[in-house]
Amino acid sequence: MATSRSDARPKASLHKDAFDAPPFRRVLIANRGEVAVRLIRACHEMGMEAIGVYSDADAAAAHVRLADRAIRIGQSAPTESYLRIEALIDAARESGAEAVHPGYGFLAERAAFARAVEEAGLVFVGPPSATIDALGDKLHARRTARSVGVEAVPGTLEPAPIDRPDQVERIIAEAEAIGFPLLVKAAAGGGGRGMRRVQAARDLPAALVSGSREAASAFGDGSVYLEREIRPARHIEVQLLGDAGGRVVAIGERDCSLQRRHQKLVEEAPAPGLTTAERRHLHELAVRVAAAAGLRNAATAEFLRAPDGAFYFLEVNTRLQVEHGVTELVSGLDIVREQFTLAAGRPLSAEAVAAAAQAAHPTSHAIEVRLSAEDPRRDFAPAPGRVARWTMPAGPGVRVDTAIESGDRIPAEYDNLIAKLIVHAGDRARTLDRLRRALDETEVAGIQTTLPFHRFVARAPSFRSAELSTSWVDEHWDGMAAFAEAARRAQLAAGLAALDAAPAAAASGAQPPSPRPAGGPGERRRGAGGWQRAGLATAIDRWPR
């Protein structure tokens, strides 16, 4: 039986003397971590009560403490908690929620969840289940794009007949027409699951079978298709909003090219290097596809930009994106607030319409890095554990979305994302300077994170000059080499620290301190020497222990 808990602080005020009535009285947040915190804060700003849910692993989590009420939905494993549609619907009913926001990840793009919310008489804060059904199938989305004259990445438009041995020759012929190397991709999901890179025709049958098997395990649908590999390519996406009246607008684009295993690591808005005409064209393509699919609420259309500058449609994500914050900072629009009002049936706000009108003429820049509990030395392997020290940067133009505090445990059961560090300035060069400064202020200990990688990116000449592609990480980052260099500098700093202390120790007759990396506990920011700061950055901050 579900149990609930409530904190002692006052509930969100329902008195709206100074601003418009809230779209809902009470909202269930069907998620955890930093996105749940983001959504709860938006609810409170709008005068709505926020109902949290939690698993056993999250009983003391930040989103539980921030919520007006929190309801236990199961054990730590996602399949026993955050992926249990019935438990979430029960929690919504028990709490008297009028709407459900899925956040991102978990059930956010599951049409079955949106449908269950709708059938329960509640409002799903996102595109309707029919739209998620239509656009969640990538093959359907590709056919929709073609129907409105938007060119998708060259490839097939129907599932590969993997269960028909007599069709092997035909699918190989189609692959040769597309051209090698190509990708086998899952029709029903993303994130690289079910994806296989195929170099030659002889490798295609095995790739189809293994890709289909993984897709079936991950998404419950083993359908796969073929798509040309565009390389080098830039991954650029367009933020979309649509209202119940059928109006769809673009709020700007983001470059998400820096990825590992098809998972984004760094995002920025606007996409560097595009002209005003190119931005307008890209936004128009995205709006055309979304309008054809009947988009309502928020979604993102993703494209690849080929070396010749052509844009090819990839897919539509029918949810709030992790990287929505960079678009918020550049456009000045609160996208989550807009989601709630659109879900209540209201038209696009005047602010959203104004942001869309200005989208092709951005006047500032924002960059987000995803700080994750992963080891960039070991191919970004997961690194859960307990956080011993957690100090996030601040100052002008710095935003941190997180649910972590010192002493918290990063559970192994969930996604490794623990914070999003977003910086904003008047242009890209100043934004990069701000990013470098903010990363230098960041302190994490007790777990390994992607902080060393992000510091490397912020200082990389090729990133500063916007030489971006989906191959950038493979071509520029060597985690083992970076770690070895950090260790070498830390050892040098330790030796210099011992030498520096030796004369004073000899004069007093005391024993000189044994060498150890500068910047250890109790030595944070002591001294102004360049060697000491370098030792601190490499030994402690670059590779947290």
Catalytic residue positions? 319
Query: CB–CB of 298/338 below 8 Å?
Result: yes
How many beta carbons lie within 10 A of that of residue 429, not counting itself? Answer: 11
Alpha helices in 332-370 (DSSP H): 335-343, 350-358
489: which 2 tokens? 């500098």
Element (H, E) at 335: helix 335-343
Say if strands 196-198 and 234-242 run parallel, antiparallel, or are unpaired.
Answer: unpaired
| Interacting residues of 388 by C-beta distance below 8 A, sequence separation 6+ | 406, 407, 445, 446, 447
Write phi, then psi, for 305 (nearest 5 degrees): -105, 120
Element (H, E) at 123: strand 123-124
How many beta carbons lie within 10 A of that of residue 110, not counting itself? Answer: 20
Query: CB–CB of 7/65 below 8 Å?
Result: yes
Q: If you compute the radius of gyration of the chain from its CA atoms, what whole number of angstroms results? A: 25
Alpha helices in 110-266 (DSSP H): 111-119, 129-136, 138-147, 168-178, 204-219
- Identify the CA nearest to 299 among candidates 307, 289, 309, 308: 289
497: which 2 tokens? 């620290």
Amino acid symbol at 179: G
How many beta carbons lie within 10 A of that of residue 516, not counting itself? Answer: 16
295: which 2 tokens? 């988009």
DSSP string, 435-467: HHHHHHH-EEESS--SHHHHHHHHH-HHHHTT-
* Alpha carbon 114 to its chain's center: 21
Which residues, listed in sequence order, are joined to residue 185 by a DSSP beta bridge? 225
Query: CB–CB of 312/304 below 8 Å?
Result: yes
Say if strands 99-101 and 26-29 run parallel, antiparallel, or are unpaired.
Answer: parallel
Buried b or exposed e, range 193-225, using 16+ CB within 10 angstroms: bbbbebeeeebbbebbbebbebbbebbebbbbb
Alpha helices in 148-302 (DSSP H): 168-178, 204-219, 276-292
- Identify the CA nearest to 12 among candidates 37, 42, 32, 36: 42
82/72 Cα distance (integer angstroms): 10
Cα dihedral 172, 174, 177, 180 sign: negative
How many beta carbons lie within 10 A of that of residue 115, not counting itself? Answer: 17
* Alpha carbon 198 to its chain's center: 27
